[in-house]
Structure 1
Amino acid sequence: MRFFLKHSLILLTVLLTVSLTFGQSLQTDSLVVKFDRFRRTDYIEKIYVHINQSALLVGETVWFSVYAVDGSFHKGTQLSKVAYVEILDKNNVAVAQAKIALNNGLGSGSFYLSPLINAGNYQIRAYTNWMRNQPPSFYFHKQLTIINPFTSLERKKGVSVDKKIIAAFFPEGGNIIAGVTNKVGFKLSSPDGKGVASNGFLLNDKNDTLAQFSPLKFGIGNFSFAAEAGTVYRAVIKTNEGYVTYPLPTVKPIGYALRVIDNKDHFEIVVENKTSTNWPSYLLIHARNKIVLCKAIESTGEPARIQLHKTSLPDGICTATLFDAMMYPAAERVLYKHPTEKLTINAKLNQQDYSPRRPITLDIETSSPANLSVSVYRLDSISIPSSSTILDYLMLSSELKGVVESPEYYLSNDPHKEAALDNLMLTHGWRRFNWTDVLDGKKSEKKFVPEFNSPIISGKVFNENNEPVANILTYIASPSKAPRVYTSRSDAAGNIQFEMQNFYGPRKVVLQTNTKLDSIYHIQIDNPYATDFIDSNSDDFQLNTSIKNSLEERTVAMQVNDIYHRASHEKFSHPAIDTTAFYGKPDEKYMLDDFTRFPVMEEVLREYVVGVVVRKRRDGFHFMLVDHPSKTVFSESPFMLIDGIPFFDEDEIMSFSPLKVKQLDVMTQRYYLGYNHYSGVLSFRTYNGDLGGFIPNKHALVVDLEGLQLQREFYTPTYDLQKNRETRLPDQRQQLYWNPKISTIDGKQQLKFSTSDLIGNYIIEIEGISTDGTPGKSRTIFAVKNYNN
Structure 2
Amino acid sequence: MKKLYITLLLCLMFTTFGYSQQDLSARDRLFDNKEEVFIHYNSTFLVAGESLLYKLYSVDPNSGKLSNLSSIGYLELTSQDGEQIFLHKVSLKGGAGYGDFLIPSTVPSGAYKLLGYTRWMQNAGKGHFFSGDLVIINPYMEDQSNVIWLNDSVPGSNVTTLLQDPSGGNSIRKNKKFCLEVNNDVYGRREKVTINLSKVGSGPVRGNFSVSVKKLENFLIPQPLTAESFHSTLEDSNWERNKNLVLPDLRGEILSGKVIARDKNVEAGGRTLIVSLPGKPFFVRLVKTATDGSFKLNLDKMDFGSRAFFQVLGDDREHFEIILDNAPAVEKQDIRFQEVKITNGMVELIRQRSIYNQVENSYVSVKQDSIDSQVKSIPFYGSLPEIYNLDEFTRFPTLQETFVEIIQLARVRRNRRGSSHFELTGSAGSQSLKPLLIVDGLILQDHEDFIHYDAGKVKSIGLQREKYYLGPEVFNGLMVVETINGDFYEYINHNFIKTKRIEILQPKKTYYQPVYGLKKQLYSRVPDYRLQLLWLPLLVVDGTTAEIEFYTSDVPGNYEITIEGFTEDGEAVSLQKVIEVQ
Q: Same fold (TM over 0.5)?
A: yes
Q: Is the 8 A contact 2:125 2:239 kept in 1?
A: no
Q: Is the 8 A contact 2:283 2:304 kept in 1?
A: no
Query: Quick one: distance in 2 between partners of 1:460 and 1:768?
Result: 40
Query: Quick one: distance in 2 between partners of 1:543 and 1:492?
Result: 59
Query: Quick one: distance in 2 between partners of 1:666 and 1:68?
Result: 45
Identity in percent: 26
1:372 equivalenced with 2:209 (yes/no): yes
Q: Residues 321-360 of structure 1: CA distance to partner in whole angstroms, max 9, x if unpaired? A: xxxxxxxxxxxxxxxxxxxxx7833222232211112222
1:730 is matched with 527
3-state secondary structure, aligned to 1:552: helix
Cα distance, 1:495 vs structure 2: 2.9
Q: Residues 506-531 of structure 1: CA distance to partner in whole angstroms, max 9, x if unpaired? A: 72433323474312323343331315
Query: Quick one: distance in 1 between partners of 2:370 and 2:552?
Result: 23
1:360 equivalenced with 2:193 (yes/no): yes
Give the AA of the match of 2:186: D
Cα distance, 1:75 vs structure 2: 2.4
Spell out structure 1 runs of 4+ moving beyond 6 A.
34-37, 465-468
Question: In 2 relative to 1, CA 97–695 (structure 1 residues): closer, same or farther, beyond 3 Å?
Answer: same
Question: In 2 relative to 1, CA 493–136 (structure 1 residues): closer, same or farther, beyond 3 Å?
Answer: farther
Query: Quick one: distance in 2 between partners of 1:626 and 1:42?
Result: 57
1:767 is matched with 564
Picking from 247, 250, 271, the partner of 1:452 is: 250
Q: Is the 8 A contact 2:39 2:116 kept in 1?
A: yes
1:132 equivalenced with 2:122 (yes/no): yes
Cα distance, 1:737 vs structure 2: 0.6
1:149 equivalenced with 2:142 (yes/no): no
Q: Is the 8 A contact 2:71 2:92 kept in 1?
A: yes
Q: Is the 8 A contact 2:372 2:510 kept in 1?
A: no
RCO greater where, 1 or 2, for CA within 8 Å and sep 6 or more? 2
Question: In 2 relative to 1, CA 712–524 (structure 1 residues): closer, same or farther, beyond 3 Å?
Answer: farther
1:3 is matched with none
Q: Residues 575-595 of structure 1: CA distance to partner in whole angstroms, max 9, x if unpaired? A: 513353221112433333344
Query: Quick one: distance in 2 between partners of 1:695 and 1:39?
Result: 46
Cα distance, 1:67 vs structure 2: 1.0
2:19 is matched with none
Stretches of structure 2 that go unaligned for 5 or more consecutive residues are: 1-23, 151-159, 163-174
2:306 is matched with 507
Q: Is the 8 A contact 1:87 1:97 kept in 2?
A: yes
Query: Quick one: distance in 1 between partners of 2:328 and 2:305?
Result: 16
Give the AA of the match of 2:216: L
3-state secondary structure, aligned to 1:538: coil
Please give the TM-score of this superposition, normalised by the length of structure 2: 0.82
Q: Residues 509-561 of structure 1: CA distance to partner in whole angstroms, max 9, x if unpaired? A: 33323474312323343331315235123344332445334323222222222
Q: Is the 8 A contact 1:613 1:623 kept in 2?
A: yes
Question: In 2 relative to 1, CA 560–622 (structure 1 residues): closer, same or farther, beyond 3 Å?
Answer: closer
Cα distance, 1:390 vs structure 2: 0.7
Question: In 2 relative to 1, CA 724–136 (structure 1 residues): closer, same or farther, beyond 3 Å?
Answer: farther
Q: Is the 8 A contact 1:62 1:112 kept in 2?
A: yes
1:601 equivalenced with 2:437 (yes/no): no
Cα distance, 1:152 vs structure 2: 5.0
Residue pairs, 1:232-381, within 5 angstroms? 344-366=177-199, 367-381=204-218
1:103 is matched with 93
1:528 is matched with 327
Q: Residues 39-62 of structure 1: CA distance to partner in whole angstroms, max 9, x if unpaired? A: 565321111110111221222111
1:43 is matched with 33
Q: Is the 8 A contact 2:205 2:545 kept in 1?
A: no
Query: Quick one: distance in 2 between partners of 1:105 and 1:155?
Result: 40
Question: In 2 relative to 1, CA 84–149 (structure 1 residues): closer, same or farther, beyond 3 Å?
Answer: same
Give the AA of the match of 1:128: T
2:233 is matched with 397
Q: Is the 8 A contact 2:318 2:495 kept in 1?
A: no
1:257 is matched with none
Picking from 239, 243, 255, the partner of 1:432 is: 239
3-state secondary structure, aligned to 2:127: helix
Give the AA of the match of 2:93: N
Query: Quick one: distance in 2 between partners of 1:62 and 1:506?
Result: 24
Q: Is the 8 A contact 1:626 1:669 kept in 2?
A: no
Cα distance, 1:135 vs structure 2: 1.4
Give the AA of the match of 2:399: M
Q: Residues 434-482 of structure 1: CA distance to partner in whole angstroms, max 9, x if unpaired? A: 8xxxxxxxxx645311112222233333344899943332223233342
1:585 is matched with 383
Tell which deviates more after alignment, 144-153 or 41-50: 144-153
Query: Quick one: distance in 2 between partners of 1:433 and 1:126?
Result: 19
1:649 is matched with 446
Query: Quick one: distance in 2 between partners of 1:521 and 1:566?
Result: 50
Question: In 2 relative to 1, CA 505–656 (structure 1 residues): closer, same or farther, beyond 3 Å?
Answer: closer
1:623 is matched with 422
2:512 is matched with 715
Query: Quick one: distance in 1 between partners of 2:117 and 2:576?
Result: 27
Q: Which has the larger radius of gyration?
A: 1
Q: Residues 76-114 of structure 1: CA distance to partner in whole angstroms, max 9, x if unpaired? A: 222210000011222443212100000111100112112
Cα distance, 1:673 vs structure 2: 2.8
1:224 is matched with none
Cα distance, 1:755 vs structure 2: 0.9
Cα distance, 1:778 vs structure 2: 1.0
1:659 is matched with 456
Q: Residues 688-738 of structure 1: CA distance to partner in whole angstroms, max 9, x if unpaired? A: 433297435454234543221224542222222221222223221111110
Residue pairs, 1:37-186, within 5 angstroms? 38=28, 41-150=31-140, 155=148
Query: Quick one: distance in 1 between partners of 2:285 and 2:569?
Result: 37
1:200 is matched with none
